[in-house]
A and B are shown apart, each in its own frame.
Chain A
Amino acid sequence: MNNNAYNINIFSGGAELLFDNKRHYNIDLPNKDTWKLGDLLIWLRDNLLSERPELFIQNNSVRPGILVLVNDSDWELMVSSDLWYLICSLCQILCKYAPCP
């Protein structure tokens, strides 16, 4: 099994608009010693984002209003405002965006 397989869900709520309107991606990351959440988000931006990257990442973090869940948990529990959390392989990453009401 590939260690670098990740399951990305772009959850409804607007975030899918940034990702080519697709809600689900299975991705294989290039080999590298450790993949941290921060690296992954940057990778997502550079490789999957179909438009307007500034709506996803700003000032080295996700844009306010975008919620990220890793294996069904709020990533803010792990990172405490710091992007560089080490992630396991086969993570489920879910980006939820809380758009205008």
Chain B
Amino acid sequence: MPMCSRKCGKNAVLKRPKTGDALCKECFFEVFENEIHFTITRANLFKPGSTVAIGASGGKDSTVLAYVLKLLNEKYKYGLKLVLLSIDEGITGYRDDSLKTVEQNRDDYEMELKVLSYKDLYGWTMDEIVKQIGRKNNCTFCGVFRRQALDRGAMQLNVDYLSTGHNADDIAETVLMNILRGDLARLKRCTSIITDSGDGIPRVKPLKYTYEKEIVMYAYFRKLVYFSTECVFAPNAYRGHARILLKDLEKIDPSVIMNIIQSGESLVINEDRKLPSLTKCQKCAYVSSQQICKACILLEGLNRGLPKLGIGKSSRVNKLITENNRQNNCCNDNCNKNCTNLVKNNV
């Protein structure tokens, strides 16, 4: 068994993918936590005295994020108030266990917890959405709704930052996806450690440079309780391919992850290309790059019985909406329900 590369005299327990070093448990904890601390301080991520919501799914990433933020906040006196924010999508048998895990996090880390449901936010549970749309496309829904749900929840909690557990593998995967799709606006934004969505609450990703393997190992060696958050629905096929490609490349050379992130960071997008600027959604007033945000388009589709609306291109969506407007002169039961919801959620 190899010895720890830091010459502390102990046996190594893992090989770090990021550096290839063999480390013992204690040295691994130290470098793992210090790197996150370094990421936070170098980017000046948090102002002292702020309240930070941690988007908590009960999964490995957010559990490790909550644990490490608490530890660093105490050790280095960031002066932050940390709260957990969790979303209940309304998927039978899926959140029950993971919400229990989040509640465990709440007790273990002594943080306040706020749980918001899709039903509260959108008037639909994920189960009801799947009934309408089938299982194939639902990750579009859960992705879009989940993203907004966290932002809206952060607003309700009146916090200064929203931090999420996106890790280095996730970010590299998103860079690849955006290149494959030619989505320059997202490509430009997706590697930022802090994204300012207009007048929204800044989203921060303290685990941006942390490899997924190290997160799993850290959670295991620290004996953190987490829940497997693999989405019960088949992941979006496209993202699935990007993930497999990335994991295969990582196997050949783990540094591809960092290389992709660094390439994303140093990309300069030709400004002649039209990038959509952020405005406010006309329906829900939430920050959006379109006149009507993706969540509202998807909801519109659901409420009108056109659930495929919003999965394709936005030009097609607008056409469908206009066509459909001509057909129904609004205000059936569904629409009323939705209108009330949109007013209620107009934060």
Contacts and interface: CB of A to CB of B under 8 A. Distances in A.
Report if A and B associate in a common complex: yes
Interface residues of A, number: 21
Contact of A13 (B1, B166, B216, B250): B216
Contacts of A12: 226-228
A38 to B, nearest CB: 16
A39 B260 CA distance: 35
Contacts of B212: 65, 98, 101
Interface residues of B, number: 37
Query: Most B CB atoms within 10 A — which of A67, A73, A96, A101?
Result: A101
B247 A64 contact: yes
Given A74-B14, A100-B243, A67 B228 contact: no
Contact of A77 (B1, B230, B247): B1
A101 B166 contact: yes
Interface string B1-29: 11000000001111100000010000000
Interface in A53-101: 61, 63-65, 67, 69, 72-74, 76-78, 96, 98-101
A11 interface: yes
B200 interface: no
Interface of A: 11-14, 61, 63-65, 67, 69, 72-74, 76-78, 96, 98-101
Interface of B: 1-2, 11-15, 22, 59-61, 165-167, 169-170, 212-213, 215-217, 220, 226-231, 235, 239-240, 243-244, 247-248, 250-251
